[in-house]
A and B are shown apart, each in its own frame.
Chain A
Amino acid sequence: MSREELIKQLMPTFVIELEGHIQDLTDQLINLEKQDAASVSADNETLLLLQRTAHSLKGASRSVNLTLVEGCCHKIEDIIALALSKKAFSPAIFQLFFNCVDALEVTSANLKNQVEVPQAPLVAANLSLDAAVVALSTGSAVVAPAIEKRAIPLVVQARPETQVAPILTNVAGAIHLDEPASREENAAPVVPLALSPSSSLQSTVRVQADQLDRLMVDATEMLVENSQLTGQLRALEEIRVQLFNQLQILSGRRRRKGNFAASERTSRASRAGRDRFERVEAFNGTSEKQAGQVNNGDADVDEPEIEQIEAFKLDKIVRELDQIILAAATARRQSSQTIHSINDGVQQLRLVSFEEACQPLNRTVRDLAKSAGKNVNIEVIGGAVGIDRSIVDELRAPLLHLVRNAVDHGIEPDAVRVKSGKPPAIITLSAIIQGSTLTVSVSDNGAGLNAEAIREKALKVGIEKERVERDVHGVIFVPGFSTAQIITEVSGRGLGLDVVKSSIEKIGGQIEVSTETGKGTTFTLHMPTTLTTGRALLVGELGQTYALMVSSVIKVMRVDGDDLKRVDGNDMIEIDGNMVRIVSLRAMFGGETLPLNSGVKYQAILIAADKTQLVLLADKLLNEKEIVLKPLNERLRKLKLFIGTTILDDGTVSLILNAAELIRASSGNQSLAVATKRVEPGKKRIIVADDSITTRSMEKNILEAAGYEVTTASDGAQGWRLLQERGADLVVSDVEMPNMDGFAFAAAVRSSTKFKTLPFILVTALAKDSDKARGIEAGASAYLVKSEFEQDNLLEIIKQFL
């Protein structure tokens, strides 16, 4: 292998290492800078760490032939040694080092993107370090180049090119650099496996982030598959029970025959035997008495041996089945445990400590504060809180924006603070996890929001007065709102607070602001702890199951039809002293609203987003469960009502409701109020039989939206069975179906005594008159040709019969 090839192979590893060193250098420098430069001595711990980092990087860069990086590190070491011996540490030296780190960052980003590394920043850094070495050796003061304002773009994905390379004019042998270096950062962080600080001795492994993502997808997939297995096992179990029952019947018959053999000689009357048999039946719990009547036939009596063999064989099969089911259930339980533990493990791997997530902000705050001539410290509370990578990624831009805002506008200039006797400026970042909610707050001890300025500007830009008065501080999140007093050029660029808000909402979170004049401002962000899994409440509506993340659910409650009040075209209900809008999910989905009866309690869900509550009525409240979230694909991303999908245990897809959007869109829906005299009739029940799932779903949707209760069958035989088992008020059936076609189904219905007069509608592709005649002959009450099918004519026809 040639040297070049070797370097090429080493490079990816080196880049990861370099990124780590850069982060370490930054932290160490920030830390050092906080100390009195003059007093920094050889045994200063931070300095030791800094030396060690520079030394490691020197070795690593040598191995990949990056001589300029090696030079930087080498010179940093020299300067530290010189400064120590001459007791000449100064803030200028630290600034010089910061500049070097900037140059290293450019290098790192370019290496990562496999772009040609521009030499200019590194060359400049080397030269300025050289100059410092000369200055230190000759005893003159080290001059740090002027700070280039580090313009870190707000949106990570779209970084404008900015000039970073310091122009060294003050240094001996002034160098002019024509080429500005472009500075790019790559957003994807590499997650260290352990959350312990890097100084700990615990060994760690670095892994590519996307490998973790893939692992996560696989692990969650296994979870879903495992729960599907549970369902299949249950089905097997049912079959076993049925088999067992059949076997009991058979053995009952056998016993009867045994008795028969004994009693036959005396009497051929089957009465006694039948009674005994019926007792066996009752014992087995098979309620159908008719089952006994099977034995009245003579054929059974004629073939005792065959039956014995049959029963014996069956008995064996049942026992085998038992064993298989038992083994499968055990295996499933074990694999479920393993899968859960793998899943937990992967979740753990994906955690990034809050401390680490905040690290890039340290430098931002330092630079911004410096350039604004302010002294701002940053403090992290809950640094050890582990946050899922997916959330960290989504939090990065909003956090950066909030922190910038705080430095630029929240914190007053030092002079003002001193005058009003305020303590040193500090920005506090905190994180806490409660249940499945992560709460992150960014607070400053600055001037607080200026309500008067906001109000004035809000009214000027045309925001409703009522909205402003309701929550003046919340107005800062309204799109299009920006005031000179609130947003300056730096923070105003690209991303307003409305974008912060919507990016938090997009991940199912909420943001709120609280402020106290003269004391400071706090932005609080609530969000789920992960974007890949979460707890959800499953609700049934219009025959489908929807998921609602529990983070947006306040409680499940009961409401009475009498408590409804109609205010400004909305139904309202009083909850804990507040009037809250109430709406049915059905109405939100464009279905026919079913009025609430007075005196009847209805189950409802109180949800909240954006400081607003909403009572949501759903057809059915099902269970609460852990779900795996899958985002909507790009073709559906604009469907605001849903934030994603998940796959349910039965393998069907369930849409996840967007609470914030439900609340926004809930205004002005059909009234739920009961017309005083109207009594809600029991829902009419319809059986829909069609072998096409699309047609079935479509008819079901139409009928359910019109307020009918619908059961579907995939063929005539299933439809006929459902009808016999549960009954119905009407049947809508396709003609061409497997097993039992529509004609046969209609004929079966007509020939039964119970359903002789049941309305039966045939929907068919067969448009010929002869087909129609056949349908009528078979007993169809109406005949609807598919090519003429329309929602309205189906409903019209049904109305005629019900």
Chain B
Amino acid sequence: MKPDKEGSGRLKHISRWEQISARLDKLRSTAADGKEAVQTQAKNDAVLAARAEILAQSNFSDDNEQMLDLLVFSLANQLFAIENKYVREVSKLANLTTVPNAPKFLTGLTNHRGEIITVYDIRSFVSSAHIGLSQLTGVIILGNDKNEFAILADALDRQQFLPVSEVMPLNESSAISAEAKIYARGITRDSLVILNGQSLLDEKRLYIAS
């Protein structure tokens, strides 16, 4: 008999109510998923409209300067960006099936609204740093006109418009790993590495050999 016997019974009840409430919440969110898809669309439209506005204001010094529309994310303690035109969708990893006997960077398969998407961990492609554990909960689905595959991100940081002129070409002295250079189309002054979406889509290693 524990000394706190009387109190713990009560606690138990409360925690059971919490469980119930949590489960109801979960069910509710499942039900809301459908709604969310619609809302996402609306949200996207709003975002696009806002972007159009920003672009129209042309508060950039150079009126005709080309802008890069970027998704910035963190991976292996570094910030990367990829052009939004290669990004089909972003979400959180909700389920994962690992593939036995496959290379380590093939994280697995996930069911994304009925579509089976291959998920890759590209840390070893873009970073030479020692790869320990990282969050890897963000899913960025890439593709041109259809969902090709997804890469994992530790966190999705922000959407950003960047004047092309701020992208510096990579050179020997660029402080990024040799691995990342293969996929990078440039780097900004504050060390944001802009990945080349197409070269990721074309990457042969992502076609898993037998």
Contact = CB atoms under 8 A, between A and B. Distances in A.
Binding partners A and B: yes
A636 B24 contact: no
Contact of B110 (A224, A242, A653): A653
B98 A645 contact: no
Contacts of A634: 207
B100 A641 contact: yes
B16 A242 contact: yes
A706 interface: no
Contacts of A654: 97
Interface string B99-121: 11110001111110010101001
A638 B121 contact: no
Interface stretch (B39-47, B133-141, B161-169): B133-141
A653 B97 contact: yes
A788 B207 CA distance: 29
Nearest to A645: B116
B27 interface: yes
A297 B95 contact: no
Contact of B95 (A225, A640, A652, A765): A652
Band of interface residues on A: 35 or more
Contacts, number: 147
A698 interface: yes
Interface residues of B, number: 52
A639 B101 CA distance: 9
A639 B208 contact: yes
B35 interface: no
Contact of B23 (A239, A655, A701, A787): A239
B79 interface: no
A363 interface: no
Contacts of A693: 93-96, 137
A243 B121 contact: no
A71 B133 CA distance: 76
B13 interface: yes
B9 A653 contact: no
A239 B111 contact: no
Contacts of A224: 114
A642 B109 CA distance: 13
A6 interface: no
Interface string A612-655: 00000000000000000010011110111110010100011111
B6 interface: yes
B206 interface: yes
A787 B93 contact: no
B130 interface: yes
B120 to A, nearest CB: 9
A633 B13 contact: no
A638 B209 contact: yes
Interface string A200-225: 00000000000000000000010011
Interface stretch (A160-168, A288-296, A485-493): A288-296
A291 B136 contact: no
B93 A647 contact: no
Given A647-B111, A652-B111, A290 B9 contact: yes
Contacts of A701: 98
Interface in B4-39: 5-6, 8-10, 12-13, 16-17, 19-20, 23-24, 27, 30
A90 B78 CA distance: 83
Given A636-B99, A693-B93, 20 more contacts: A239-B20, A243-B20, A293-B6, A293-B9, A544-B97, A544-B98, A633-B116, A633-B149, A636-B118, A638-B208, A638-B209, A639-B102, A645-B116, A653-B95, A653-B109, A655-B100, A655-B109, A692-B136, A693-B96, A753-B2
Interface of A: 221, 224-225, 232, 235-236, 238-239, 242-243, 246, 249, 288, 290-294, 296-297, 542, 544, 588-590, 630, 633-636, 638-642, 645, 647, 651-655, 691-695, 697-698, 701, 753, 763, 765, 785-790
